Structure 1
Amino acid sequence: MKKLVLLLIILTLASPALAGTRVLMTTSLGTITLDLDEARAPETVKNFLAYADAGFYDGTIFHRVIKGFMIQGGGFDTALKRKATRPPIRNEAGNGLENVRGTIAMARTNVVDSATSQFFINLVDNDFLNHRGNDARGFGYAVFGKVVDGMDIVDRIARVPTEQRGGPFANLPRQQVVIKSIRRAE
Protein backbone atom coordinates (compact mmCIF):
# COMPACT_ATOMS: atom_id res chain seq x y z
CA MET A 1 0.00 0.00 0.00
CA LYS A 2 2.86 2.38 0.84
CA LYS A 3 4.40 1.72 -2.57
CA LEU A 4 1.10 2.58 -4.28
CA VAL A 5 0.78 5.84 -2.34
CA LEU A 6 4.40 6.73 -3.12
CA LEU A 7 3.85 5.96 -6.81
CA LEU A 8 0.74 8.18 -6.90
CA ILE A 9 2.66 11.02 -5.26
CA ILE A 10 5.51 10.69 -7.75
CA LEU A 11 3.10 10.62 -10.71
CA THR A 12 1.26 13.67 -9.38
CA LEU A 13 4.49 15.63 -8.99
CA ALA A 14 5.82 14.52 -12.38
CA SER A 15 2.67 15.34 -14.33
CA PRO A 16 2.41 18.73 -16.01
CA ALA A 17 0.46 21.48 -14.29
CA LEU A 18 -3.22 21.58 -15.02
CA ALA A 19 -3.97 23.54 -18.14
CA GLY A 20 -5.86 26.80 -17.93
CA THR A 21 -9.11 27.37 -19.74
CA ARG A 22 -9.31 25.60 -23.07
CA VAL A 23 -11.16 27.27 -25.94
CA LEU A 24 -12.11 26.18 -29.45
CA MET A 25 -11.70 28.74 -32.21
CA THR A 26 -13.80 27.55 -35.12
CA THR A 27 -12.78 29.19 -38.40
CA SER A 28 -13.85 28.81 -42.01
CA LEU A 29 -10.64 26.77 -42.53
CA GLY A 30 -10.92 24.52 -39.45
CA THR A 31 -10.75 24.49 -35.67
CA ILE A 32 -7.89 25.70 -33.48
CA THR A 33 -7.73 24.61 -29.83
CA LEU A 34 -6.09 27.02 -27.38
CA ASP A 35 -5.05 26.69 -23.75
CA LEU A 36 -5.22 30.05 -21.98
CA ASP A 37 -2.80 30.77 -19.13
CA GLU A 38 -4.94 32.33 -16.41
CA ALA A 39 -2.15 32.03 -13.84
CA ARG A 40 0.33 34.20 -15.76
CA ALA A 41 -2.01 36.46 -17.73
CA PRO A 42 -5.16 36.74 -15.58
CA GLU A 43 -6.43 40.12 -16.81
CA THR A 44 -5.77 39.27 -20.46
CA VAL A 45 -7.50 35.88 -20.23
CA LYS A 46 -10.46 37.42 -18.40
CA ASN A 47 -10.75 40.05 -21.16
CA PHE A 48 -10.48 37.50 -24.00
CA LEU A 49 -13.05 35.21 -22.39
CA ALA A 50 -15.46 38.12 -21.82
CA TYR A 51 -15.39 38.82 -25.55
CA ALA A 52 -15.66 35.11 -26.41
CA ASP A 53 -18.50 34.45 -23.95
CA ALA A 54 -20.45 37.42 -25.36
CA GLY A 55 -20.14 36.05 -28.91
CA PHE A 56 -18.13 39.13 -29.94
CA TYR A 57 -15.71 37.13 -32.11
CA ASP A 58 -18.47 35.32 -34.03
CA GLY A 59 -18.29 36.49 -37.64
CA THR A 60 -15.03 38.41 -37.30
CA ILE A 61 -12.16 37.81 -39.69
CA PHE A 62 -8.42 37.37 -39.75
CA HIS A 63 -7.69 40.77 -41.28
CA ARG A 64 -3.88 40.70 -41.14
CA VAL A 65 -1.95 37.66 -42.34
CA ILE A 66 1.81 37.90 -42.71
CA LYS A 67 3.53 34.69 -43.76
CA GLY A 68 6.56 33.98 -41.58
CA PHE A 69 5.28 36.31 -38.84
CA MET A 70 1.71 36.05 -37.51
CA ILE A 71 -2.04 35.97 -38.21
CA GLN A 72 -4.22 38.65 -36.57
CA GLY A 73 -7.96 38.88 -36.02
CA GLY A 74 -10.73 39.74 -33.62
CA GLY A 75 -11.57 43.31 -34.56
CA PHE A 76 -13.38 43.49 -37.90
CA ASP A 77 -16.51 41.85 -39.28
CA THR A 78 -16.92 40.39 -42.77
CA ALA A 79 -17.95 43.84 -44.11
CA LEU A 80 -14.55 45.14 -42.86
CA LYS A 81 -16.28 47.25 -40.22
CA ARG A 82 -14.40 47.72 -36.94
CA LYS A 83 -16.41 46.31 -34.05
CA ALA A 84 -16.98 48.45 -30.96
CA THR A 85 -14.87 47.22 -28.05
CA ARG A 86 -14.65 47.45 -24.30
CA PRO A 87 -12.01 49.71 -22.71
CA PRO A 88 -8.34 48.74 -23.13
CA ILE A 89 -6.65 46.50 -20.58
CA ARG A 90 -3.32 46.59 -18.76
CA ASN A 91 -0.51 45.02 -20.76
CA GLU A 92 0.73 41.82 -19.08
CA ALA A 93 3.72 41.29 -21.40
CA GLY A 94 6.06 41.04 -18.40
CA ASN A 95 4.49 37.73 -17.33
CA GLY A 96 7.38 35.56 -18.52
CA LEU A 97 5.50 34.07 -21.49
CA GLU A 98 7.28 34.56 -24.81
CA ASN A 99 6.07 35.15 -28.35
CA VAL A 100 7.09 31.77 -29.74
CA ARG A 101 5.50 29.74 -32.52
CA GLY A 102 1.94 28.78 -31.66
CA THR A 103 1.35 31.30 -28.89
CA ILE A 104 -1.55 33.73 -28.86
CA ALA A 105 -0.94 37.33 -27.79
CA MET A 106 -2.84 40.59 -27.65
CA ALA A 107 -2.51 43.07 -30.49
CA ARG A 108 -2.18 46.71 -29.52
CA THR A 109 -1.21 50.14 -30.81
CA ASN A 110 2.03 51.93 -29.89
CA VAL A 111 0.39 52.72 -26.54
CA VAL A 112 1.47 50.02 -24.06
CA ASP A 113 -1.95 49.55 -22.41
CA SER A 114 -4.14 49.73 -25.52
CA ALA A 115 -5.18 46.10 -26.19
CA THR A 116 -8.91 45.46 -26.49
CA SER A 117 -10.24 42.54 -28.57
CA GLN A 118 -7.65 41.92 -31.28
CA PHE A 119 -5.18 39.08 -30.93
CA PHE A 120 -2.54 37.36 -33.02
CA ILE A 121 -1.07 33.88 -33.25
CA ASN A 122 2.68 33.70 -33.76
CA LEU A 123 3.78 31.66 -36.79
CA VAL A 124 7.44 31.70 -35.74
CA ASP A 125 9.45 32.67 -32.67
CA ASN A 126 9.09 36.46 -32.57
CA ASP A 127 11.58 37.37 -29.86
CA PHE A 128 11.44 41.06 -30.75
CA LEU A 129 7.82 41.13 -29.48
CA ASN A 130 8.81 39.96 -25.99
CA HIS A 131 8.96 42.17 -22.91
CA ARG A 132 12.43 43.75 -22.70
CA GLY A 133 11.77 46.74 -20.46
CA ASN A 134 9.11 49.04 -19.05
CA ASP A 135 9.41 51.82 -21.63
CA ALA A 136 7.02 51.97 -24.60
CA ARG A 137 9.62 50.56 -27.04
CA GLY A 138 10.53 47.55 -24.95
CA PHE A 139 7.32 46.63 -23.20
CA GLY A 140 6.27 43.94 -25.66
CA TYR A 141 3.07 42.11 -26.47
CA ALA A 142 1.23 40.02 -23.87
CA VAL A 143 1.15 36.30 -24.58
CA PHE A 144 -1.80 34.65 -22.83
CA GLY A 145 -2.04 31.14 -24.25
CA LYS A 146 -0.93 28.66 -26.87
CA VAL A 147 -2.28 26.47 -29.64
CA VAL A 148 -2.51 22.88 -28.44
CA ASP A 149 -4.28 21.49 -31.51
CA GLY A 150 -4.84 22.89 -34.99
CA MET A 151 -1.46 24.45 -35.73
CA ASP A 152 -1.97 22.99 -39.20
CA ILE A 153 -5.03 25.27 -39.49
CA VAL A 154 -2.98 28.26 -38.33
CA ASP A 155 -0.37 27.44 -40.99
CA ARG A 156 -3.12 27.05 -43.59
CA ILE A 157 -4.44 30.52 -42.71
CA ALA A 158 -0.87 31.85 -43.00
CA ARG A 159 -0.66 30.60 -46.60
CA VAL A 160 -3.77 32.40 -47.92
CA PRO A 161 -3.00 34.99 -50.59
CA THR A 162 -3.28 38.57 -49.33
CA GLU A 163 -3.71 42.01 -50.84
CA GLN A 164 -2.93 45.59 -49.85
CA ARG A 165 -5.94 47.76 -49.08
CA GLY A 166 -4.27 50.29 -46.79
CA GLY A 167 -4.79 51.13 -43.13
CA PRO A 168 -5.46 48.06 -41.03
CA PHE A 169 -5.86 46.04 -44.24
CA ALA A 170 -2.28 46.04 -45.48
CA ASN A 171 -2.18 42.22 -45.46
CA LEU A 172 -5.82 41.32 -45.96
CA PRO A 173 -6.66 37.79 -47.16
CA ARG A 174 -8.19 37.91 -50.65
CA GLN A 175 -10.65 35.23 -49.57
CA GLN A 176 -11.92 35.94 -46.07
CA VAL A 177 -10.93 33.65 -43.23
CA VAL A 178 -13.88 33.94 -40.86
CA ILE A 179 -13.85 33.21 -37.15
CA LYS A 180 -17.18 31.44 -36.82
CA SER A 181 -16.96 31.24 -33.03
CA ILE A 182 -14.67 31.11 -30.02
CA ARG A 183 -16.12 29.01 -27.20
CA ARG A 184 -14.90 27.43 -24.00
CA ALA A 185 -14.30 23.73 -24.50
CA GLU A 186 -16.59 21.43 -22.56
Structure 2
Amino acid sequence: MKRLFPHLFALLFAIVPLSWAQAGPKVLVKTSLGEITIELDEEKAPETVKNFLGYVKDGFFDKTVFHRVIEGFMIQGGGFALKEDGTIEQKETKDPIQNEAKNGLKNARGTIAMARTGDPHSATAQFFINHADNSNLDFPSFDGWGYAVFGKVVGGLDVVDKIAGVATGTKTLKARGGLGLREAAMDDVPNENVVIESIKVVTE
Protein backbone atom coordinates (compact mmCIF):
# COMPACT_ATOMS: atom_id res chain seq x y z
CA MET A 1 0.00 0.00 0.00
CA LYS A 2 2.80 2.42 0.88
CA ARG A 3 4.11 2.21 -2.67
CA LEU A 4 0.77 3.52 -3.92
CA PHE A 5 1.00 6.83 -2.07
CA PRO A 6 3.60 8.49 -4.33
CA HIS A 7 1.46 7.64 -7.34
CA LEU A 8 -1.65 9.01 -5.65
CA PHE A 9 0.11 12.26 -4.78
CA ALA A 10 1.44 12.54 -8.32
CA LEU A 11 -2.08 12.09 -9.65
CA LEU A 12 -3.42 14.73 -7.27
CA PHE A 13 -0.74 17.23 -8.23
CA ALA A 14 -1.48 16.54 -11.89
CA ILE A 15 -5.20 17.18 -11.43
CA VAL A 16 -5.32 20.09 -8.98
CA PRO A 17 -3.67 22.71 -11.24
CA LEU A 18 -6.46 22.12 -13.77
CA SER A 19 -9.00 23.21 -11.17
CA TRP A 20 -7.07 26.47 -10.74
CA ALA A 21 -7.50 27.43 -14.38
CA GLN A 22 -9.17 30.82 -14.27
CA ALA A 23 -12.15 31.50 -16.49
CA GLY A 24 -12.13 34.62 -18.60
CA PRO A 25 -14.46 37.61 -18.23
CA LYS A 26 -18.14 36.91 -18.88
CA VAL A 27 -20.69 39.23 -20.44
CA LEU A 28 -24.48 38.97 -20.48
CA VAL A 29 -26.13 39.83 -23.78
CA LYS A 30 -29.79 40.73 -23.25
CA THR A 31 -31.74 40.52 -26.50
CA SER A 32 -35.39 40.84 -27.45
CA LEU A 33 -35.43 37.04 -27.85
CA GLY A 34 -33.60 36.06 -24.66
CA GLU A 35 -30.25 36.17 -22.89
CA ILE A 36 -26.84 34.90 -23.99
CA THR A 37 -23.82 34.54 -21.69
CA ILE A 38 -20.42 34.73 -23.35
CA GLU A 39 -17.03 33.91 -21.84
CA LEU A 40 -14.18 35.91 -23.35
CA ASP A 41 -10.67 34.55 -23.89
CA GLU A 42 -8.36 37.40 -22.95
CA GLU A 43 -5.36 35.05 -22.88
CA LYS A 44 -5.65 34.05 -26.54
CA ALA A 45 -7.17 37.31 -27.85
CA PRO A 46 -6.05 40.08 -25.47
CA GLU A 47 -6.39 43.06 -27.82
CA THR A 48 -9.75 41.90 -29.18
CA VAL A 49 -11.19 41.30 -25.70
CA LYS A 50 -9.90 44.66 -24.46
CA ASN A 51 -11.50 46.38 -27.45
CA PHE A 52 -14.82 44.54 -27.02
CA LEU A 53 -15.01 45.24 -23.28
CA GLY A 54 -14.28 48.91 -23.96
CA TYR A 55 -17.37 49.09 -26.15
CA VAL A 56 -19.38 47.13 -23.58
CA LYS A 57 -18.45 49.46 -20.72
CA ASP A 58 -19.27 52.50 -22.88
CA GLY A 59 -22.78 51.12 -23.48
CA PHE A 60 -22.07 51.15 -27.22
CA PHE A 61 -24.02 47.97 -27.95
CA ASP A 62 -27.19 49.00 -26.11
CA LYS A 63 -30.17 49.22 -28.50
CA THR A 64 -28.22 47.88 -31.45
CA VAL A 65 -29.58 45.04 -33.57
CA PHE A 66 -28.54 41.77 -35.15
CA HIS A 67 -28.55 43.16 -38.67
CA ARG A 68 -27.32 40.09 -40.56
CA VAL A 69 -28.66 36.63 -39.79
CA ILE A 70 -27.98 33.48 -41.80
CA GLU A 71 -29.24 30.22 -40.31
CA GLY A 72 -26.59 27.51 -40.35
CA PHE A 73 -23.85 30.14 -40.64
CA MET A 74 -23.84 33.02 -38.14
CA ILE A 75 -25.69 35.94 -36.53
CA GLN A 76 -23.99 39.35 -36.79
CA GLY A 77 -24.54 42.49 -34.74
CA GLY A 78 -22.95 45.27 -32.75
CA GLY A 79 -22.77 47.96 -35.41
CA PHE A 80 -26.25 49.22 -36.27
CA ALA A 81 -28.50 51.09 -33.82
CA LEU A 82 -32.28 51.06 -33.76
CA LYS A 83 -33.39 54.71 -33.75
CA GLU A 84 -36.55 56.08 -32.14
CA ASP A 85 -38.15 56.59 -35.55
CA GLY A 86 -37.65 52.90 -36.36
CA THR A 87 -34.75 53.37 -38.77
CA ILE A 88 -31.55 51.37 -38.40
CA GLU A 89 -28.35 53.39 -38.58
CA GLN A 90 -24.70 52.34 -38.51
CA LYS A 91 -22.81 53.74 -35.51
CA GLU A 92 -19.47 55.52 -35.50
CA THR A 93 -16.69 53.45 -33.96
CA LYS A 94 -13.19 53.73 -32.57
CA ASP A 95 -10.12 52.89 -34.62
CA PRO A 96 -9.82 49.33 -35.99
CA ILE A 97 -7.72 46.71 -34.22
CA GLN A 98 -5.14 44.16 -35.31
CA ASN A 99 -6.46 40.79 -36.42
CA GLU A 100 -5.76 38.09 -33.79
CA ALA A 101 -7.04 35.17 -35.86
CA LYS A 102 -3.64 33.43 -35.49
CA ASN A 103 -4.46 32.66 -31.85
CA GLY A 104 -5.48 29.06 -32.49
CA LEU A 105 -9.15 29.52 -31.59
CA LYS A 106 -11.55 28.05 -34.14
CA ASN A 107 -14.80 29.40 -35.57
CA ALA A 108 -16.79 26.56 -34.04
CA ARG A 109 -20.51 26.62 -33.28
CA GLY A 110 -21.20 28.98 -30.38
CA THR A 111 -17.99 30.98 -30.63
CA ILE A 112 -17.90 34.76 -31.02
CA ALA A 113 -15.59 36.42 -33.55
CA MET A 114 -14.94 39.86 -34.98
CA ALA A 115 -16.62 40.91 -38.21
CA ARG A 116 -14.58 42.99 -40.65
CA THR A 117 -14.30 44.18 -44.22
CA GLY A 118 -11.92 42.72 -46.81
CA ASP A 119 -9.07 44.40 -44.93
CA PRO A 120 -7.86 41.82 -42.36
CA HIS A 121 -7.18 44.56 -39.81
CA SER A 122 -10.45 46.49 -40.12
CA ALA A 123 -12.47 45.07 -37.19
CA THR A 124 -13.97 47.66 -34.86
CA ALA A 125 -17.19 46.85 -32.99
CA GLN A 126 -19.22 44.42 -35.10
CA PHE A 127 -19.11 40.79 -34.04
CA PHE A 128 -20.78 37.54 -34.99
CA ILE A 129 -21.70 34.34 -33.21
CA ASN A 130 -21.10 31.20 -35.24
CA HIS A 131 -24.29 29.19 -35.66
CA ALA A 132 -22.32 26.25 -37.11
CA ASP A 133 -18.72 25.07 -37.35
CA ASN A 134 -17.23 27.48 -39.89
CA SER A 135 -13.70 26.19 -40.42
CA ASN A 136 -13.48 28.20 -43.64
CA LEU A 137 -13.25 31.32 -41.46
CA ASP A 138 -10.29 30.02 -39.44
CA PHE A 139 -6.75 31.30 -39.96
CA PRO A 140 -5.43 31.45 -42.64
CA SER A 141 -8.78 31.30 -44.48
CA PHE A 142 -9.04 32.46 -48.10
CA ASP A 143 -7.26 35.78 -47.53
CA GLY A 144 -4.32 34.59 -45.44
CA TRP A 145 -5.88 35.80 -42.18
CA GLY A 146 -9.32 34.57 -41.24
CA TYR A 147 -11.66 35.89 -38.56
CA ALA A 148 -10.53 36.34 -34.96
CA VAL A 149 -12.41 34.28 -32.37
CA PHE A 150 -12.30 35.79 -28.88
CA GLY A 151 -14.81 33.87 -26.80
CA LYS A 152 -17.64 31.36 -26.66
CA VAL A 153 -21.27 31.09 -25.62
CA VAL A 154 -21.55 29.37 -22.22
CA GLY A 155 -25.25 29.99 -21.73
CA GLY A 156 -28.18 30.68 -24.02
CA LEU A 157 -27.12 28.79 -27.13
CA ASP A 158 -30.83 28.10 -27.60
CA VAL A 159 -31.32 31.86 -27.93
CA VAL A 160 -28.65 31.93 -30.64
CA ASP A 161 -30.63 29.19 -32.41
CA LYS A 162 -33.82 31.20 -32.01
CA ILE A 163 -32.23 34.32 -33.51
CA ALA A 164 -30.70 32.30 -36.34
CA GLY A 165 -34.13 30.95 -37.20
CA VAL A 166 -35.96 34.26 -37.67
CA ALA A 167 -37.34 35.23 -41.07
CA THR A 168 -35.07 37.59 -42.99
CA GLY A 169 -35.16 39.67 -46.14
CA THR A 170 -33.82 42.80 -47.80
CA LYS A 171 -34.05 46.07 -45.88
CA THR A 172 -32.78 49.60 -46.41
CA LEU A 173 -30.40 50.62 -43.63
CA LYS A 174 -28.31 53.75 -43.12
CA ALA A 175 -24.69 52.71 -43.57
CA ARG A 176 -21.50 54.72 -43.14
CA GLY A 177 -19.01 55.27 -45.93
CA GLY A 178 -16.55 57.85 -47.19
CA LEU A 179 -19.37 60.35 -47.71
CA GLY A 180 -21.00 59.74 -44.35
CA LEU A 181 -24.39 58.09 -43.86
CA ARG A 182 -26.17 56.78 -46.92
CA GLU A 183 -29.09 54.47 -47.50
CA ALA A 184 -28.11 50.97 -48.55
CA ALA A 185 -30.16 47.86 -49.26
CA MET A 186 -28.87 44.92 -47.26
CA ASP A 187 -29.79 41.24 -47.47
CA ASP A 188 -30.32 38.77 -44.61
CA VAL A 189 -31.77 41.42 -42.29
CA PRO A 190 -34.41 40.13 -39.83
CA ASN A 191 -37.93 41.12 -40.89
CA GLU A 192 -38.68 41.89 -37.25
CA ASN A 193 -35.84 43.62 -35.41
CA VAL A 194 -33.81 41.45 -33.04
CA VAL A 195 -32.62 44.05 -30.57
CA ILE A 196 -29.58 43.86 -28.30
CA GLU A 197 -31.08 45.60 -25.27
CA SER A 198 -27.73 45.66 -23.47
CA ILE A 199 -24.41 43.90 -22.98
CA LYS A 200 -23.03 44.00 -19.44
CA VAL A 201 -19.94 42.54 -17.77
CA VAL A 202 -21.00 39.97 -15.16
CA THR A 203 -17.55 38.70 -14.11
CA GLU A 204 -14.09 40.12 -14.81
TM over 0.5: yes
Aligned pair in 2 of structure 1 residues 120, 26: CA closer, same or farther (>3 Å)? same
- How many residues in Structure 1 have an aligned counterpart in Structure 2? 183
- Larger strand share, 1 or 2: 2
Q: Which residue of 1 aligns with 2:3?
A: none
After superposition, what is the alpha-carbon deviation per residue over 1:48-93, rounded to whole angstroms, capped at 9, x for unaligned?
0000000000000000000110000000011210101000000000
CA–CA distance in structure 1, aligned partners of residues 54 and 21 of structure 2: 24
Asked whether the equivalents of residues 88 and 113 of structure 1 are also in contact (C-alpha less than 8 Å), the reply is: yes
Aligned pair in 2 of structure 1 residues 10, 142: CA closer, same or farther (>3 Å)? same
Please list, as runs of the form range in 1=range in 2, the aligned pairs for 1:165-180 lying within 5 A after superposition: 165=171, 167=184, 169-180=186-197
Alignment pair present for 1:34 and 2:38: yes
Please list, as runs of the form range in 1=range in 2, the aligned pairs for 1:55-70 lying within 5 A after superposition: 55-70=59-74
Q: Which residue of 2 aligns with 1:137?
A: 143
Alignment pair present for 1:73 and 2:77: yes
CA–CA distance in structure 2, aligned partners of residues 132 and 76 of structure 1: 28
CA–CA distance in structure 2, aligned partners of residues 71 and 168 of structure 1: 18
Counterpart selection for 1:164 from 151, 159, 170: 170
Aligned pair in 2 of structure 1 residues 165, 90: CA closer, same or farther (>3 Å)? same
Asked whether the equivalents of residues 170 and 185 of structure 2 are also in contact (C-alpha less than 8 Å), the reply is: no
**Post-superposition shift, 1:164?**
1.5
Superposition CA RMSD, Å: 2.1
TM-score normalized by the length of structure 2: 0.83
Asked whether the equivalents of residues 64 and 168 of structure 1 are also in contact (C-alpha less than 8 Å), the reply is: no
CA–CA distance in structure 2, aligned partners of residues 54 and 82 of structure 1: 17
Counterpart selection for 1:154 from 157, 160, 174: 160
CA–CA distance in structure 2, aligned partners of residues 14 and 53 of structure 1: 31
Asked whether the equivalents of residues 97 and 143 of structure 1 are also in contact (C-alpha less than 8 Å), the reply is: yes
Alignment pair present for 1:116 and 2:120: no
Identify which range, 157-166 or 80-89, moves more after superposition.
Answer: 157-166
After superposition, what is the alpha-carbon deviation per residue over 1:131-154, rounded to whole angstroms, capped at 9, x for unaligned?
027xx7120000000000000000
Please list, as runs of the form range in 1=range in 2, the aligned pairs for 1:92-131 lying within 5 A after superposition: 92-131=100-139
CA–CA distance in structure 2, aligned partners of residues 184 and 151 of structure 1: 18
TM-score normalized by the length of structure 1: 0.91
Identity of aligned residues (%): 55
Unaligned runs of 5+ in 2: 1-5, 173-183
After superposition, what is the alpha-carbon deviation per residue over 1:24-67, rounded to whole angstroms, capped at 9, x for unaligned?
01101111000000000000000000000000000000000001
Aligned pair in 2 of structure 1 residues 106, 16: CA closer, same or farther (>3 Å)? farther
Q: Highest CA radius of gyration, 1 or 2? A: 2
